[in-house]
Structure 1
Amino acid sequence: MKTKLLTTPPLSLYIHIPWCVEKCPYCDFNSHALKSQVPEQDYVKALIADLDADIARFDLSQRPLHSIFIGGGTPSLFSAQAIKSLLDQVLSRFKQNSSQDNYSHSNTSQESNIEITLEANPGTVEADKFIGFAKAGVTRLSIGVQSFESDKLLKLGRIHNVSQAKFAAQLAHESGVKSFNLDLMHGLPNQTLDNALDDLKTAINLKPDHLSWYQLTIEPNTAFHSKPPKLPQDEVLWDIQDQGFKLLSDAGYQQYEISAFRRVKDDEADDKQCQHNLNYWRFGDYLGIGCGAHGKITDPKNGVIQRTVKVKHPKGYLDPNRAPLDHLKTVTNDELPFEYMMNQLRLFSSFTLVEYQQRTGLAASTVLPTLQQAQNKKMMTCTDTLSIEGKWQVTLLGHRYLNDLLELFL
């Protein structure tokens, strides 16, 4: 049954660059403080070897790429020349979509129609590279601002200042990329409601095409976990979210995921949603290359979904005598319902049981009773519960208590 139902979803590529100037105290990503010069050439060579191994392992040469996301760490520490070399080599290895039939490998990354995102630090040195990144083929920048208050940036361990953050947004507008995102946190140490809303107003005034606005959480294995800062009370956090959502909506930003907002313009037809992240949330496929990167690949022919994890530490990953793959796991039928819902239920758009079947290979009956339970709790609605084409959607209550909703699928 699983083999018959399972279909091939879009394929994205995540590329992890692990180095930062300094490790932020709240960060639990696989990032490492830079102690010497960035080994650009060696790392690009290792990334391509990693990619080639995955393409051969999963027979992916005939699948087109949906999107590329270069994350970290601080990918903007790399030169524009290194990013161009990386993108040209990556894109030359994949079949192109029909809209890319006139594709020229002499200028590979420039002529690709897919979304290519690069995360950037707003420090002046990195921001000055934005034009170079655009010429290298990057179509979207994601700038890690986090706050526009000096004391908050200091507490968060950020190396940029407020002026540099604003200047980075200005450069992004002028760089030639199609769109850019600002990452902004709320619920920061000693942050008041007014502080948080002022941060948000500053971000809105910079007119980014996309805003990622999310609450700071204290994660294990971070400096903040060892020495927790004083965070706002729950009542303040609720007020920040409620008033912040209204502020964003009034400014023309549409929420399409728990922490993602796209700017809607009457004179612009382009969709500014992050296509790469949408593929994650819709349970699409993605390769993960680079230190500690994770991947998910569907094989409809054999009816399996597999997950990969790459060697975590740069020293091991750059060792030419060591394979980049650290772990390969087949996702079991018991795990799939929760994995699908953990992603899909973050979205504000609906889904059908047909889509569930195609992405998991499982029958609708494996999840329908739980969906109906969520409906009874007023956490979800459906246009037609008797049809597998009925549209299921999370309610405002379900989004507010998303963790409680997800627990139903465990």
Structure 2
Amino acid sequence: MIRPPLGLYIHLPWCVRKCPYCDFNSHALRDGLPEKAYVDALLADLRQDLAWVKDRRLHSIFLGGGTPSLFSPDSLARMLEGVQGLVPWDKPIEITLEANPGTVESAKFRAFRASGINRLSLGVQSFQDGKLTALGRIHTAREALEAIDTARSAGFDNFNLDLMFGLPGQSLNDALSDIDTAIAQNPAHISYYQLTLEPHTLFAKYPPRLPQDEHIWTLQNACQEKLAAGGFKRYEISAYARDGFQCRHNLNYWRFGDYLGIGAGAHAKLTDPERNAIHRIWKIRHPDHYREKAASPARIGGRSIIRESDKPLEFLMNTLRLKEGFTPSQFERRTGMDFAQIAPSLEPLLVDGLLKRAGERITCSSRGWNFLDTLLERFIPA
């Protein structure tokens, strides 16, 4: 086992209004953003986490939420300067900001770019006003297009568009229209994923009528074909990119890399080669409590060490999401286990055609990707 690349996730938990499908740790903004106090807390939290950094440099930074673009460019610049003063960075480093397409946030894009942020992820979800209303989004299709134009003029040549399919009342033409519009904006990356009803969300309590599975399957296949024809290569189950623009931060997750997590409710995965252990750590969730305790051990909401019997499942549920899959040596470096311990369980999956092997590399087949959850069930410890 060796220490893998290290990313940093920063959680900024406020949004204008919580979307009914969202199960993230996000909170509707009521009394104004406590920007200075929260940035101070983030940097205090990171100082406490420095023992995990060792001699590594940050591979990537991802600002997620919530709606991080609600923060002022000055606050984000101060935060990033503070991070760089504590942990050295790779050069060049990828720094992603999740942004709301609304006009208020898009006006800040030039200042965000000047602060060092070099990748935007725009939560568009759909380019049709009726679908946006059904999803509880507060922006319009016109505002989404304007935000894309603003981002490009601000110097962002690397931006992602988040789109959903399987929406209430969505026809095949609706779905294809969203993809056509997205491709026409010439983004570097498109994240395309199915709307699901997650527990403890408003949609779980008051579920909308979603399309039948067979119809969703039709939408997905048709739109994947259109994305491929438009030059977007599917490199992960829900991620499509032009050559050279895969999300470095998310690739590190899926390759079973390490990441620090600062902010209310943020999670971390950290490798400890000396003890042949992989730690998961998460911070307390409520933003007010987090700010009060960020400089102390009380900021930790919980921690665990991945059991040896769980390491294969944890590794495979990440790496098999990627088209590139994994190699036996990667498994051994990232888990500290001998590949021979999982080889017998992989063999019937290779025989059944759910997995493929080319040289040393093991990947999902197209059928295996479609039934990944079923495939992974074979690695759940008894």
Q: Same fold (TM over 0.5)?
A: yes
* Contact 1:309-1:328 at 8 Å conserved across structures: yes
**Is 2:279 the counterpart of 1:309?**
no
Q: Which residue of 2 aligns with 1:27?
A: 22
**Is 2:67 the counterpart of 1:67?**
no
In 2, Cα distance between equivalents of 1:217 and 1:373: 31
1:274 partner amino acid: C
Q: Which residue of 1 aligns with 2:347?
A: 372
Alignment partner of 1:226 out of 200, 205, 211:
205
1:330 partner amino acid: I
Q: Which residue of 2 aligns with 1:11?
A: 6
Alignment partner of 1:242 out of 221, 228, 233:
221
TM-score with structure 2 setting the length = 0.97
* RMSD, aligned α-carbons: 1.2
TM-score with structure 1 setting the length = 0.90
Alignment partner of 2:256 out of 283, 287, 303:
283
The 5-angstrom pairing of residues 6-405 of structure 1 reads 6-56=1-51, 58=52, 60-97=53-90, 100=91, 113-264=92-243, 271-320=244-293, 323-384=298-359, 390-405=360-375
* Contact 2:59-2:89 at 8 Å conserved across structures: no
Q: Give the number of aligned pairs.
A: 378
1:131 partner SS: helix
> Displacement, 1:96?
4.2
Q: Percent identity?
A: 48
Deviation track 1:108-135 (CA, whole Å, cap 9, x = no partner) reads xxxxx10000000000000111111000
Q: Which runs of 4+ in 1 moved over 6 A?
A: none
- Unaligned 5+ segments in structure 2 are none
Deviation track 1:308-333 (CA, whole Å, cap 9, x = no partner) reads 01000111101148621111211110
Q: Which residue of 2 aligns with 1:107?
A: none
* Contact 1:61-1:93 at 8 Å conserved across structures: no
In 2, Cα distance between equivalents of 1:214 and 1:238: 12
> Displacement, 1:376?
1.9
Deviation track 1:85-126 (CA, whole Å, cap 9, x = no partner) reads 0001101212344xx4xxxxxxxxxxxx10000000000000
* Contact 2:160-2:189 at 8 Å conserved across structures: yes
In 2, Cα distance between equivalents of 1:171 and 1:338: 42
2:203 partner SS: helix
In 2, Cα distance between equivalents of 1:224 and 1:277: 27
In 1, Cα distance between equivalents of 2:43 and 2:348: 46
In 1, Cα distance between equivalents of 2:44 and 2:66: 20
* Contact 1:374-1:408 at 8 Å conserved across structures: no
2:303 partner amino acid: L
> 127-136 or 169-178: which moved more?
169-178
* Contact 1:117-1:140 at 8 Å conserved across structures: yes
